[in-house]
Amino acid sequence: MNFDEAIENIKKVLEDTGTNIKKEEYDGIIVKKLEASNTLDEGRTTKQTHIAITGEQMNMFPYLRADGYFEKDSEGMKKYFVMQIPVILKESNIKYLNKSEKIDIVFETESINTYASIVRSKRTSQADQIQMSLTTLDDKNFIKFRKMLHIGSYLIVLKKYKKFEYECYGILPDYDNDKIQQLNNKFFSISTNTIVYADELIYNEKSESINKYLSPEWFREKAFTGYKSAFSHNRIIFGAPGTGKSYRLNKDREELLKDGNEENYERVTFHPDYSYANFVGTYKPIPYKKEDGEEGITYEYVPGPFMRIYVEALKNSKTDNVKPYLLIIEEINRANVAAVFGDVFQLLDRDENNVSEYPIEASEDVKKYLAKELGGTPSNYKKIYIPDNMFIWATMNSADQGVYPMDTAFKRRWEFSYLGIDEKEEEIANRYIILGNAGYRRKVEWNKLRKAINNKLSSFKVNEDKLLGPYFVSSKAIKADEKGEIDKDVFVPIFKGKVLMYLFEDAAKQRRESLFSLEDKNIKYSSICKEFDEKGVYVFNAEISKEFEKDIVEEENE
């Protein structure tokens, strides 16, 4: 069989599986039916991950020899050189292999540029070979392609005519006929002169084969995707404890992301030890298996929530169906935000299109990670911007003790929304509980008690952000039956552990004698809880308890 017959067979095989090619665009063909050792299937007994190319098939790829520098059959120099070759994958073939319209590779057009590794390998007392596709050296999209190939699948590699460029296709095991069987483990070529420049043998940025999207040029021209939203992109909701800040963000999140996009967000809670490494990312030790199967430790860049959402937003911004991606930060001021955000802080300044107005210089770690995740080379990511489909929302309670102050420059980059102390109080109206024993027994509305306590705290000149919001206690604590009655067994322990403790230790710490009504002037938290079990609202001073004087409940009415 000559080259023309072989390429005709390849054309028919690919047409049968949904892909069209032009025969005149190629000058080299190899086809390999994959054994277990050539796949990345789980449960394989072999430790090999590469695909062995032997014999005249090796002529499909450029490789270098250096025999004169090493002793013959030297075991200490198994691998001579490693190169990365530009490879094109076609969307039609990926969909055929995946048997689904939903694929995990983003195609901006009908094809995507990726790369695979080739290693010239010298084997003692055996013929040399080329090891194609070492998973530690390949582009992630090429690895995804390989994971779609299984035992009995065919790998087709076509070399582009007079170019240092390749196309790879997979054929599933159920397609196994004469057309493809005749090509298995053979090499077909026509005589051409392909010039390969030295800088094309490097992970290079000059080759047109390497995907250059998300380069600085792309950011300048396309980071604005045209995504529109009624919500602010950088937003902080603040207010007193229990005003429903997290609840509000959750409702707004549902409206922003809408059906089908519920997973397009991450939520993180800041704390005093939270750092830039946690938030953006850092190198960490990662266990891995070596080629020989031994366990080893390597260091790998591990992204934080900011970088993960950032990458997902960028990936989506290349598609025709642009969607919002959201990072939610709870308790943003409980960490040193200047240290946590670091240079990312500058990206928060957005222009009229909601794209970062000023880029930042990405670190080498970030450049390599972005190249790995998004394609191209690390040098494509010298300057980075936040695109307009990425949102960052946060909650803040300035009443918390031990929080870090925010400087004016940081605050200026956010839209602040304040939730008032009585926000959504209508949702808990008329919910009551029976508190106290004997003569102290009263029907007490939770919202009425909350407001009475707030009025007394306000008379002490306590700031509004330290007052009690409607949901200072959890929804579970004030869940009512059809009559509006709250379960006492649920409410009382939570009220003592949250409300009484908060008043005792924080909001009324300096005015305990004025807020609580106890005979013992040496007020203890345990005494307050004991009095509350017996007297209910009469544990508080007369200004609060008098609000419930007429709400008497007789014992027999329980």
Mean pLDDT of 435-442: 92
For residue 213, the model assigns a pLDDT of 47
Mean pLDDT of 279-290: 83
For residue 224, the model assigns a pLDDT of 60
C-beta separation of 32 from 55 below 8 A = no
Which of 76-85, 189-198, 382-391, 520-529 comes out lowest in average pLDDT?
Answer: 76-85
The amino acid at 354: N
For residue 266, the model assigns a pLDDT of 94
> Which residues are 480's β-sheet partners?
486
How far, in Å, CA of 400 to CA of 70, rounded?
Answer: 69
Percentage helix, strand, coil for the chain under 3-state DSSP, each rounded to 5 = 35, 20, 40
Mean pLDDT of 299-317: 90
Dump pLDDT digits (tens) for 101-160: 667 888 878 889 898 988 877 666 667 788 899 887 888 899 999 999 999 999 999 999
Residue 80 has pLDDT above 70, yes or no: no
Mean pLDDT of 44-72: 72
What are the tokens at 515? 């807020």
C-beta separation of 148 from 69 below 8 A = no
Which of 45-54, 194-203, 259-268, 272-281 comes out lowest in average pLDDT?
Answer: 194-203
Mean pLDDT of 201-225: 47
For residue 208, the model assigns a pLDDT of 38
Sign of the torsion formed by the C-alpha atoms of 488, 492, 498 and 500: positive
Residue 209 has pLDDT above 70, yes or no: no
Residue 6 has pLDDT above 60, yes or no: yes
How far, in Å, CA of 410 to CA of 398, rounded?
Answer: 15
Mean pLDDT of 98-103: 74
Percentage of the chain surpassing pLDDT 90?
Answer: 42
Query: For residue 421, what pLDDT band results from cuts at 50, 70 and 90?
Result: confident
By DSSP bridging, strand 166-171 and strand 79-90 are parallel
Residue 370 has pLDDT above 90, yes or no: no
Mean pLDDT of 338-356: 90
Residue 202 has pLDDT above 50, yes or no: no
For residue 205, the model assigns a pLDDT of 39
Is the fold of 3-201 the same as that of 216-419?
no
Query: For residue 219, what pLDDT band results from cuts at 50, 70 and 90?
Result: low
The amino acid at 200: E
Q: What is the CATH number of domain 216-419?
A: 3.40.50.300
What are the tokens at 318? 């290349």
How far, in Å, CA of 116 to CA of 165, rounded?
Answer: 11
Structural domain 3-201, CATH architecture: Beta Barrel (2.40)
- Angstrom distances, CA of residue 497 to CA of 247, 423, 432, 504: 22, 23, 19, 11
For residue 139, the model assigns a pLDDT of 87
Place of tokens 């009585």: 422
Mean pLDDT of 275-290: 86
Dump pLDDT digits (tens) for 155-200: 999 999 988 899 999 999 999 888 899 999 999 999 887 766 554 4
- Mean of all residue pLDDT scores within the chain: 84
Residue 212 has pLDDT above 60, yes or no: no
pTM: 0.58
For residue 24, the model assigns a pLDDT of 92
For residue 557, the model assigns a pLDDT of 47
Which of 243-247, 287-291, 327-331 has the highest average model confidence (pLDDT)? Answer: 327-331
Work out the number of other CB atoms within 10 angstroms of the CB of residue 424: 15
What residue ranges do the domains of the chain occupy?
3-201, 216-419, 425-557
- Angstrom distances, CA of residue 66 to CA of 59, 75, 79, 129: 17, 14, 11, 15
Residue 14 has pLDDT above 80, yes or no: yes
Higher per-residue confidence, 466 vs 487: 487
C-beta separation of 59 from 182 below 8 A = no
